[in-house]
Structure 1
């Protein structure tokens, strides 16, 4: 296992090779077209998983520094959802 994160250009190129873009993956997930780009510059488990799924590669292979500690042990990470009170306060908009 390599311990170096993929370069953002390699991630984008990988998506292009699969016939898609960051914007398309972002929109397909119901996000603004530029939102998914946040995962390229800062940890965001949900965004990382969306990109990994589109590439067909586990997220921990793309960003090992975000998923493994110094001893090589997997760091448990999972997408967080809004607390129930926030979901009630901000219900999803009707489409």
Structure 2
């Protein structure tokens, strides 16, 4: 998996015209240091997400039920942004949701990682 980074605030004279390529582990460390990611990856296809779950010996419906949801509820995360569902699926696959849905987690203009949180329940 490769990522491209741009460094803001530095003179373009100091940088080469070619993008710098890093692997996933290096990329996460660079993000922590303030570098911005310009994602060149596309979102996983829904069939790839389902296949990844099947490789782990489960189904999307089973993961949904284990999370206390209806068996078809997590399918919503495959077709539309839903942070709670995305995190449930990603946690089961032991990866960050931005690995599965980069378009939902990186700002397309700046390349910065967006902070998408699950809303906390309110007691009314």
Indicate whether the TM-score tops 0.5: yes
How do 1:82-93 and structure 2 match up within 5 A? Answer: 82-85=121-124
Q: Which residue is 1:74 aligned to?
A: 113
Q: Which residue is 2:75 aligned to?
A: 37
4+ aligned runs moved over 6 Å, structure 1: none
Q: Which residue is 1:92 aligned to?
A: none
- Cα distance in 1 for residues equivalent to 2:95 and 2:49: 11
Instruction: Report the structure number with the largest CA radius of gyration.
Output: 2
**Larger % of helix: which?**
1
- Cα distance in 2 for residues equivalent to 1:43 and 1:82: 19
- Cα distance in 2 for residues equivalent to 1:63 and 1:20: 20
Aligned residue-pair number: 85
Q: Mark the runs of 5 or more structure 2 residues left unpaired by the alignment.
A: 4-39
Q: Which residue is 1:12 aligned to?
A: 50
- Cα distance in 2 for residues equivalent to 1:66 and 1:3: 12
Give the TM-score normalised by structure 2: 0.65
Q: Alignment partner for residue 49 of structure 1, among 87, 95, 104? A: 87
Q: Mark the runs of 5 or more structure 1 residues left unpaired by the alignment.
A: 86-95
> Cα distance, 1:80 vs. partner?
0.9
| RMSD value, Cα | 1.1
